[in-house]
Amino acid sequence: PKPAQPIPKSMASPGLLAHVTVSKYQDALPLYRQEKILQRIGVDIPRSTLSNWMIKVGELTQPVINLLRDQLLSYDIILMDETTVQVLNEDGKKAQSKSYLWV
């Protein structure tokens, strides 16, 4: 039998979802670039589909995020990384400005 899919009735395997998610959030590779990379190897997955997958991944991982938040907030001191990232087309800012990304 076929294993359960994270997103019912979707072609997205857990591995594909992990790859797209890591590429977007860890490697800062926008979905439009991922779409073009996939097209070059003959895989047609529209950016809108990739975007919907990211929304669903967020929903699926929210319980884990909540547990992590609760654990972090139980400590007296919390340390964090304040690395900035360039964000294009952010309202009221130039494309060269740096922003904080809260994940």
pTM of the model: 0.72
Distance separating alpha carbons of residues 27 and 63, to the nearest angstrom: 24
Domain spans of the chain? 14-77
Cβ atoms of 98 and 85 within 8 Å: the answer is yes
Residues whose CB is less than 8 angstroms from the CB of residue 88 and which lie 6 or more positions away in sequence, other chains included? 95
| Structure letter (DSSP) for residue 95 | T
Long-range pairs, 27-32, Cβ under 8 A, ≥24: 28/85
The number of helix segments (H) and strand segments (E) in the chain equals: 3, 2
Per residue in 21-62, pLDDT (tens digit) is 999 999 999 999 999 999 999 999 999 999 999 999 999 999
User: Per residue in 53-78, pLDDT tens?
Assistant: 999 999 999 999 999 999 999 999 98
